[in-house]
Amino acid sequence: MGGTLKFGVIGVGVPNQNLGGHGVYNGIGEVHGHFLRETAGAELIACCDLNATNGQAYAAKYDCEFYQDYAQMLARPDLDAVAICTPSGLHGQHAVEAIRAGKHVVVEKPLEITLARVDAILQAVEAEGVRAVVVFPTRYQKSFVAAKQALDDGRFGTPALIQALCRRYRDDVYYQGWRGTWSMDGGGACINQGVHMIDALLYLMDDIEAVQARYDTLGHDRNLCEVEDTAVAILQVRRGTLGVIEATTCAYNDFGDRIDIHGMKGSLSFAGSKLVDWQMRDEEFTFNPADYEPERHEEFHGHRLLYREVVPYLRDGAPCRCAVASGRKAIALIEAIYQSARHGGMEVRPEL
């Protein structure tokens, strides 16, 4: 028990990106560096990126050693854990190699871009006896914790309707690199942006039995964005609930994410990770939004909360709601959505 866990980051991120009207973004590797620095029991000792200029700048900022070749970083015996922040289609390769080198891993969402590659990560974790985590920060927000507890306690009974909506805006510039490619992004609005709400929905209700979906590329240059920028899916939940998933990157000028749960005993509604309404029919219950506000209003606050839980998990095996196997469900559902959409909306049963 105890001791400091020494981390490395693969994929420091591209600085000063403009994601189409969203201000400046420096890549998710930067977010990991920031929160690793402030998390008790964690120390960032190494970083790796193909881009030496960006990697060296990051190493100087976070006072860690830079490697251009991740194999050299993984060879360090004092390295305990690796945060995988590379493009989604490289997560499996980087995670499996880190695991085989005996390191714990923290893998950014989506865990990988296909179920087969997700399973390869899970098998490597099992074989090497290390611990691994998937990054789904929404699960840590106070609002989601309260909603999940209420659903698990049966306070909503069986909801009639569930909805997960991701209405974001990205311009063509956003799709000029690895994003918007089947090989590296694994898809578009569903697997890159929508995966946050899809995972959050599955975290609240995971017994989805069947899906029927359509997708298209409607707002972007298909030479840049070869994947779907808009998708809709109908869900059949085992317990009887019906549901809808919508994901788009064509919603000018960003209408954000929503999750709604509606039933005869009660309803609740999220805008992003903020609870905006919660009504109960038979209980003496007054919804006070302030009770569900995060302790800090900061972008990527969920990563802070995640690392607070992840470090004791990796080090000592303490409980963790983002243990890696839980990242499989979102990919199973997204794979089913894509399969259905490719076959004209036929019903597909996800392997959840």
Ligand X SMILES: NC(=O)c1ccc[n+]([C@@H]2O[C@H](COP(=O)([O-])OP(=O)(O)OC[C@H]3O[C@@H](n4cnc5c(N)ncnc54)[C@H](O)[C@@H]3O)[C@@H](O)[C@H]2O)c1
Which residues in this chain contact ligand X in the complex, by CB under 6 A? 10-14, 27-29, 48-51, 54, 70, 85-88, 90, 108-109, 135, 137, 192
Q: C-beta of 119: minimal distance to ligand X in Å? A: 18
314 near 167, Cβ under 8 Å?
A: no
Sign of CA dihedral 46, 49, 52, 56: negative
Q: C-beta of 88: minimal distance to ligand X in Å? A: 4
Report the distance separating Cα 5 and Cα 100, nearest Å. 18
E-state strands within 254-328: 256-262, 266-271, 274-280
Q: C-beta of 134: minimal distance to ligand X in Å? A: 10
Radius of gyration of the chain (CA): 20
Q: C-beta of 334: minimal distance to ligand X in Å? A: 12
| 23 Ramachandran zone, left/alpha/beta (phi>0; psi -120 to 50) | left
Per DSSP, what are the bridge partners of residue 142? none
Q: C-beta of 11: minimal distance to ligand X in Å? A: 3
9 near 82, Cβ under 8 Å?
A: yes
Order of strands, edge to edge, in the sheet holding 42-48? Answer: 65-67, 42-48, 5-10, 81-84, 104-107, 132-134
Q: C-beta of 343: minimal distance to ligand X in Å? A: 26
> Residue 175 or 278: which CB sits closer to ligand X?
175
4 near 43, Cβ under 8 Å?
A: yes
Spell 94-104 as b/e; 16+ CB within 10 A means b: bbbbbbebebb
Q: C-beta of 342: minimal distance to ligand X in Å? A: 22
Cis peptide before 18 (omega within 30 of 0): no
> Residue 193 or 267: which CB sits closer to ligand X?
193
> Residue 168 or 212: which CB sits closer to ligand X?
168
> Residue 23 or 154: which CB sits closer to ligand X?
23
Q: How far apart are the first and last CA of the chain?
A: 34
Q: C-beta of 244: minimal distance to ligand X in Å? A: 23
